[in-house]
Chains A and B, each alone.
Chain A
């Protein structure tokens, strides 16, 4: 069994209404016009030019973000199945074996014979481990 298997979606595209698309493009056009105009008046009226530059960049940023958000494909969508490990221990000699989970495993199930003392081994734990980078770090 492939426990790390990831399934991909059939890549449907998020639909976008014409109204939103129109608003985005008008904002984008206005923002570019504002930027061009700001460059032209920069020598004559610096204060007004900077306001226009600010508005222009803001408009470009917002409309680009909205455009990317709406065109984002759902192909990245995945159900991630984390790897699960099974710990098998020998109660007699303490030999421990950690392997990938197999269907039919359960905690306190008797497993194969111990490689060292040939006694029956026991499944003592089944768990998944989350890597440190996935854990949230907070000061509180």
Chain B
């Protein structure tokens, strides 16, 4: 707040300015009057049309991002089609099929009566998965299983880009049509985060196309490192398991089958192992990648309890149900990374953190179980570019 003295001096300055404008050295010319009036007009315009001008500025900002999103989406589409042609060697041009694939949607089950909704959701997701795989096989008949999985991931990344573009375009056009500040503001406010995610998916597209491991595979990489050198067998669904001697205990190490892009169904795998051992499992340790907050270091390892698994929640539900049935304790270890790192090629910091995760698992197992116990170590995440 300005004091009375300051106010008086500002008022005096404005009056002097007005005086100068009207009776200045240029004389009492019309240009001075025009300038004077224009200043008042601008002042009044900003009072009445300030919000409208703000809306225009925001629309411009969203428009600029929309151009960028359109470019990213188009580039992604090109990369996807080229990869399908290169790997799948289709007889016909896959462009129209890819464009149709971009518009696929999944309707979540009705939740008015939530009892049994998990199984309905699982069924819908299974149907979606089968449909996607079939589509990819039709698009790329020469692709092997690993390549099919990688192509499916590539298409899903392009689908995500297409969806982001369409949502932003929707709000942009709606904002332009209604000229409502509140319509455009809701998208403008979250635009930096959306752009970051879109750029991450663009980076992921190439990673998926070439089968490079991604940040989300941190958990799978830990499991792969533990089970490497031991015989592994397939387990439900799209997972592999190896029995590994671990600090005097027997560890059942589970991960999604690699090196194709695949997350498997760790829920089913954990359930199967617990049932096979009649619930005589001393502890379950889950390792996954977790979203970091700004300021947290990339590759930081954190420890806690609970089922560390993302996705729609079906696998988490199954694991929790099974653990409750036999009262098995569950510990979790997460590797911190942001969304960009999670879907783009594995960062060195994450690779370097893998050994410290293994050390933390050893520590947890030694502190919380006895020698001779059976434990489950589940490495959760996309196994793209990670063998076993």
List residues of A whose CB falls within 8 A of some B CB: 1, 7, 9, 12, 14, 17, 19-20, 30, 33-34, 37, 40-41, 44-45, 47-48, 51-52, 69-70, 72, 74, 77, 79-82, 84, 101, 103-109, 125-130, 138, 140
Chain A residues with CB below 8 A from B25, complex form: 40-41, 44
Q: Is B266 an interface residue (CB 8 A)?
A: no
Q: Are A79 and B75 in contact, with the CB atoms below 8 A?
A: yes
Interface residues in B215-243 by Cβ distance below 8 A to A read: 221, 224, 228
Q: Are B387 and A127 in contact, with the CB atoms below 8 A?
A: no
Complex Cα distance, B346 from A34, in Å, reads 56
Q: Knowing A34-B35, A108-B388 are in contact, say whether A126-B346 is a contact too (CB < 8 A).
A: yes
Complex Cα distance, B346 from A101, in Å, reads 12
Chain A proximity mask over B1-41: 1 for CB below 8 Å, otherwise 0: 00000000000010011011100111000011001001000
Chain A residues with CB below 8 A from B270, complex form: none
Residue in chain A with minimal CB distance to B38: A30
Interface residues on B, range: 35 or more
A37 contacts which of B35, B202, B210, B345 (Cβ < 8 Å)? B35
Q: Are B259 and A106 in contact, with the CB atoms below 8 A?
A: yes
Total inter-chain residue pairs, C-beta < 8 Å: 122
B348 contacts which of A14, A80, A128 (Cβ < 8 Å)? A128
Q: Are B56 and A20 in contact, with the CB atoms below 8 A?
A: yes
Q: Is B68 an interface residue (CB 8 A)?
A: yes
Q: Are B26 and A37 in contact, with the CB atoms below 8 A?
A: yes
Complex Cα distance, B385 from A74, in Å, reads 34
Chain B residues with CB below 8 A from A51, complex form: 13, 17
Q: Are A140 and B347 in contact, with the CB atoms below 8 A?
A: no
Nearest Cβ in chain A — how far from B172, in angstroms?
13
B24 contacts which of A41, A74, A107 (Cβ < 8 Å)? A41
Q: Is B88 an interface residue (CB 8 A)?
A: no
Nearest Cβ in chain B — how far from A17, in angstroms?
8
Complex Cα distance, B385 from A125, in Å, reads 10
10 A-B pairs closest in CB distance = A106-B259, A108-B387, A48-B17, A127-B348, A128-B345, A127-B351, A106-B385, A107-B386, A129-B348, A127-B346
Q: Knowing A9-B71, A106-B386, A127-B351 are in contact, say whether A79-B203 is a contact too (CB < 8 A).
A: yes
Q: List 9 A-B contacts (CB under 8 A).
A: A7-B75, A30-B35, A30-B38, A51-B17, A104-B211, A107-B221, A125-B351, A126-B385, A127-B345
Chain A residues with CB below 8 A from B344, complex form: 82, 128
A106 contacts which of B56, B258, B351 (Cβ < 8 Å)? B258
Chain B residues with CB below 8 A from A105, complex form: 211-212, 385
